[in-house]
Structure 1
Amino acid sequence: MNSNDEPEAETTVAATDTPGAPGAETGAVPGGGPATATAGPVDAGGTTPPGRRLFRSALAVALALLLVDQATKWWATSALGDSETIQVVGDTIRFLLVYNPGAAFSMGTGVTWVFTVFAGVAAVAIGWYAWRVRSTPWAYALGLLLGGATSHFGDRLLRQPGFGHGHVVDFIDYSGFFVGNVADIGIFAGAVTVMVLSFKGIEATDPPGRKEPTEPTEPTEPTD
């Protein structure tokens, strides 16, 4: 038998997809280097999961509305006296200082504590839902609702005549029909946005059974 009749030697190829084999978790790329594997898609802005980023956006909107509302209320209590008005748009919109112990249109003025509890529960519920949101428009809308509810809750807790019975500062008079504040504008805008998003079928949270992407894992160095 000559050398031409001898069987050819088989070439052994290491399978990288064998469970437990070195490099199975990272795979291989041309050139011999390990490929970086991730446990799932990550946010384009970094490794922060989208849910946390959107929650922070909602909190930022809420904080901005809270600060603007309280600043304008401080201005109103300092610049406007009893029955003093400032014309903004003729008689359509003017500034008029009013302390409201009740709800919209001065309803429920004798049960202020009920609105204190309601504002606190609403703020907690909106915050909890904002934590689960996975839609940017929903995050902004819930941020407006959260900021308005939190500002009203602060008025109920800390303003006169006492803790838990505080009166909300209203100063934007709409033709004598309604007197409100910046927080009311934010709540109205947030509520309208929620209705529009719901009507258009835009989901606020992920469908049931869908898991949030996790942060990428560190690449595993292949062993000899």
Structure 2
Amino acid sequence: MVKPVKTVKISDVRSERQGEALLRYYLFAIAILLLDQSTKWLVMKKMHLYESIPLWQGVFHITSHRNRGAAFGILQDQRWLFIVVTLIVLTAIVFYLVRIGKSQPLLSWSLACILGGAIGNLVDRIRFSEVVDFLDFRYINFAIFNIADAAICIGVGLMVIVTLRQTETDESDNNSSEKRGIVSE
């Protein structure tokens, strides 16, 4: 008996690959969230508020700290504003990830970093009305932050790189089109 040949559409294969890529990005965001929340849990369970443990005296400490505002403590006690803005940003990131998925991997990884970090800080704001911070780089006298903050900064940094590279590519394409006498509108 001959088995019938299954026909596979190219669009089905692309859709499956797109789904696999999205799954990787979401799993990465979940890994960031889990790392962020587990480290914050450890700090809250094992340390008193404002307690500091020097890992490298005067350079890097683990310091139990809370932040009721945004970066560097700005907009203190604006919990609901942060929750609403974060939910809007998360919705936009999920929408954009679905839209670009596999076509722009570096941008997608940057969005996954931001997604994981934003959810991590959102969980804190909902549960505690503040964000748990503990990474204290004293050598450069920097604000105390957490894994979620670091992931957000890395994601934004990657987005800047993607944007700059895209701008360079667009300018290069425009210059070569002009040299060939092609005018775009």
Percent of residue pairs bearing the same amino acid type = 26
Could you tell me the TM-score, scaled by structure 1's length? 0.65
Residue 26 of structure 2 aligns with an amino acid whose one-letter code is: L
Query: How far is the alpha carbon of 1:54 from its aligned partner?
Result: 1.9
The answer for the alignment partner of 1:150 in structure 2 is 119
SS of alignment partner, residue 170 of structure 1: strand
Residue 123 of structure 2 aligns with an amino acid whose one-letter code is: G
CA root-mean-square deviation: 2.4
C-alpha distance in 1, partners of 2:55/2:165?
Answer: 36
Residue 37 of structure 2 aligns with an amino acid whose one-letter code is: Q
Query: How far is the alpha carbon of 1:193 from its aligned partner?
Result: 1.0
Query: How many pairs does the alignment contain?
Result: 162
SS of alignment partner, residue 61 of structure 2: strand
The answer for the alignment partner of 1:39 in structure 2 is 9
Residue 93 of structure 1 aligns with an amino acid whose one-letter code is: F
C-alpha distance in 1, partners of 2:86/2:108?
Answer: 19
Residue 200 of structure 1 aligns with an amino acid whose one-letter code is: R
C-alpha distance in 1, partners of 2:116/2:133?
Answer: 16
SS of alignment partner, residue 64 of structure 1: helix
Taking the TM superposition and a 5 Å limit, the aligned residue runs for 1:19-168 are: 38-40=8-10, 43=13, 48-133=15-100, 134-159=103-128, 166-168=129-131
The answer for the alignment partner of 2:155 in structure 1 is 190
Query: How far is the alpha carbon of 1:100 from its aligned partner?
Result: 0.7
Q: Is the 8 A contact 1:100 1:169 kept in 2?
A: yes
Query: How far is the alpha carbon of 1:185 from its aligned partner?
Result: 0.9
Q: Which structure: larger Rg?
A: 1
Could you tell me the TM-score, scaled by structure 2's length? 0.78
Task: Decide whether aligned partners of structure 1 residues 80 and 39 sit closer, same or farther in structure 2, where only a CA change above 3 A counts.
Answer: same
C-alpha distance in 2, partners of 1:70/1:126?
Answer: 20
Task: Decide whether aligned partners of structure 1 residues 90 and 135 sit closer, same or farther in structure 2, where only a CA change above 3 A counts.
Answer: same
C-alpha distance in 2, partners of 1:77/1:200?
Answer: 41
The answer for the alignment partner of 2:137 in structure 1 is 174
Residue 179 of structure 1 aligns with an amino acid whose one-letter code is: I
Query: Which deviations, in whole Å up to 9, do the C-alpha atoms of 1:28-65 show, x marking residues without a partner?
Result: xxxxxx9875432665xxx7533222211110111000
Query: How far is the alpha carbon of 1:177 from its aligned partner?
Result: 2.5
The answer for the alignment partner of 1:211 in structure 2 is none
Structure 2: segments with no counterpart, 5+ residues: 170-185
The answer for the alignment partner of 1:23 in structure 2 is none
Query: How far is the alpha carbon of 1:115 from its aligned partner?
Result: 1.1
Residue 9 of structure 2 aligns with an amino acid whose one-letter code is: A
C-alpha distance in 2, partners of 1:126/1:92?
Answer: 35
Higher helix share: 2
Q: Is the 8 A contact 1:57 1:139 kept in 2?
A: no
Structure 1: segments with no counterpart, 5+ residues: 1-33, 160-165, 204-224
Query: Which deviations, in whole Å up to 9, do the C-alpha atoms of 1:129-167 show, x marking residues without a partner?
Result: 1111222222221111100111111111122xxxxxx10
SS of alignment partner, residue 64 of structure 2: strand
